[in-house]
Amino acid sequence: MYSHFGMEQLSFDGNDVDVALEYTDSETYEHFRDFFDDTLPEFQRCGNVIQFKVCCNTSSHLRGNVYVQYSKEEDALEARAVFNGRWYAGRQLTCLFVTIERWKSALCGLFWRQRCPKGGQCNFLHAYRNPGNAFWRADQDLLLTEYLRSSQTPKHFHRVRSQRNSKSRRRGSAKSTRRSRSSSDTRSSGSDDSSRRQSSMVKSKSRRSRSRSKRSRSSRSKRSRSRTKRKRSHSKRSRSRSKKLKVSSERSLSRSEKSTDVSHMALGKLSRSKSPSERSTNQLEDKSKRSKKS
């Protein structure tokens, strides 16, 4: 439905991709804005439009495609009846129903960042940005939950929801059977595990008690050894002190004996050495004794 000069040239020669380089991005976007302002009111006459996307891919199966999403399936049927076979810009329109569950999975996120490595040949939708960031809630799939909860949701949404519910039920039943089997297995194994755990606990307790007893014994033996060593050191010290006292007493005795000997010797010398008066008196006495004898 949408086309400009570059797309028309690509329809004639699909290999010549450089034809679109003759126009700048601003010119192509202005052309898209004119198309947006011209066609969106026509689609809104049929019902409430919740999404409007125009592709700018260069591949033949996506080039110029326009995606319009309505809130009700009856509005989409009415729009198809009105626009199918209608002529626009010298081309006849063909309208088809397409089921897109999530726009996030359909749109190329790298295109708006200008980082898509495949360029225009990408199989994801390279869509123009709507003026004024229109329909941004649908781009982020924020309206999907509201459509699923409301009573006016399209039938294909109900089908998708019923399929998901059936799949979830099947998965839930399979999980319940697995859980029942696993619970029975875990119960049977749980008793064994409990007995093993109890035995392991008893063994661990016995090992701990043994280790504690060994530690207490080793600590007691170390303490007793240290005490005996201390006693031995004390006895050695007392013996050395007694020896020192004996030696000092012997030295003092020898010194006292030497002092007494020296005093006796001095007295003897004093006794031997007499004064001259005593000597003269002794001589006179000796002479008198001799004279008497004669």
Return the higher-pLDDT residue of 79 and 114. 79
Number of domains in the chain: 2
Decide which of 121 and 238 is more confident: 121
Q: Is residue 183 included in any domain, yes or no?
A: yes
Give the pLDDT of residue 45: 93
* pTM confidence score: 0.47
| CA-CA-CA-CA torsion sign (106, 110, 113, 119) | negative
pLDDT digits (tens, 9 = 90+) for 131-174: 988 898 888 888 765 555 554 444 444 444 555 566 666 666 66
Structural domain span for residue 165: 155-210
The Cα–Cα gap between 16 and 113 comes to 25
> Can you list the positions of beta strands (E) in the chain?
49-54, 66-70, 87-88, 91-92
pLDDT in tens, 47-94: 999 999 999 888 888 888 999 999 999 999 999 999 999 999 888 999
Identify whether residues 110 and 177 lie together within a single domain.
Answer: no
The predicted model gives 244-268 an average pLDDT of 70
Q: 17 and 119, same structural domain? A: yes
Residue 154 has a pLDDT of 44
Return left, alpha or beta for 86; rule: phi > 0 is left, psi -120 to 50 is alpha, else beta: beta
The string of DSSP codes covering 43-111 is HHTTS-EEEEEEB---STTTTT-EEEEESSHHHHHHHHHHHTT-EETTEE--------S-HHHHB-HHH
What's the confidence (pLDDT) of residue 38? 92
Secondary structure class of 4 (helix, strand, coil): coil
Sequence length of the chain is 294
- Residue 93 pLDDT: 92
- In a domain? residue 280: no
Are 9 and 93 part of one and the same domain? yes
Helix 25-44 with 73-83: angle, nearest 10 deg: 110
Greatest CA span in the chain, whole angstroms? 204
Residue 14's contacts (CB-CB under 8 Å, 6 or more residues apart) are 60
Indicate whether 39 and 103 sit together in one domain.
Answer: yes
Q: Tell me how far apart the alpha carbons of residues 78 and 76 are, in angstroms, rounded to a whole number.
A: 5
